[in-house]
Amino acid sequence: MKNALLVAVGGNSLIRAGQRGTISEQIENARITASHIADLAALGYRLVITHGNGPQVGSQLLRSEAGSFQTYTQPLDICVAATQGEIGYVLQNALRSELRERRIPIPIATIVTQVKVDKSDPAFQNPSKPVGPFYDKEDAEKKRDELGWHIVEDAARGYRRVVPSPKPMEIVEIDAIRLCVEEKIIVIAVGGGGIPIVAEDGTETGIEAVIDKDMSSALLAVQLGLKSMVISTDTDCVYLNYKKAGQKALKDVTIGEIKEYLEEGQFAPGSMRPKIESAIEFISHGGEEVIITSPHHLVEAVGGEFGTHIRNGG
């Protein structure tokens, strides 16, 4: 699709370090992020926006548990669905306001998005993604015994539930998302990596898991046939030896070079590594370029003047 661009918004765009994560804070942060996205819209890009939801899902799980004696509890797939609506609403309003100020009449829609995963994915045998609050040992063991949760210990903070993080296989609402892009509607989709579902006996059902949002973003970009995607994060570009002696910014790099750096262990798990793996996945399946930069430099980066550009090549 001509001039179509996927922008994966990092979790730090709504809740910044040191903040409590109140709704007023999230609304203000969304306004700042939306101003940079609106700049891209003003340049004529057809935009697909994805986003993280880690802190919001954690809060949703806490509410569910705290209110369990008075109302129904919510499984993880329902929590992901709820936060897609919540964050989509905040981003939609912020972006609409920014576009209105620029007198740019572009419609915006949020699509609650399901993503199919394979129940035989090895991740289900080795849950590793921490979710929800920390517990003391007694409460953690009770949760494990009563609910069948997988629990791991964090020596500094207590015990925490871990869930599978399977690979995304299919974007269920892909046709609706594609239609929005074709009709020049800014679409917000695949929030938090998507609601994980599995197909069993002809029925699709939600499952307790968390899908990496950058991997789902890459899959969405591939299924839409996009040539470029942008991953917005809390650094202006990708670095080698990050925060160490000899730190070096990567500006233009081929997929072959970035694979070598990945194998060297240059990128931290849970931080830059999944973004690099997503970039490799996208380019390996037909994408031409992945740009990694901070929200404040989106326009400069898309214009080729900033950020890290990972391209197809040796």
List, by residue number, the catalytic residues: 11-12, 129, 213, 275
Length of the chain: 314
Q: Pick from 229, 87, 67, 62: which is nearest to 160 by CA?
A: 62
Query: Mind giving me the DSSP string for 247-308?
Result: -EEE-EEEHHHHHHHHHTT-S-TTTTHHHHHHHHHHHHTT--EEEEE-GGGHHHHHTTSSSE
Write out the two tokens for 189.
């989709």
Q: Pick from 118, 150, 124: which is nearest to 135 by CA?
A: 150
Q: Pick from 270, 289, 248, 222: which is nearest to 261 by CA?
A: 248
End-to-end CA gap in the chain? 26
Write out the two tokens for 56.
């919001």
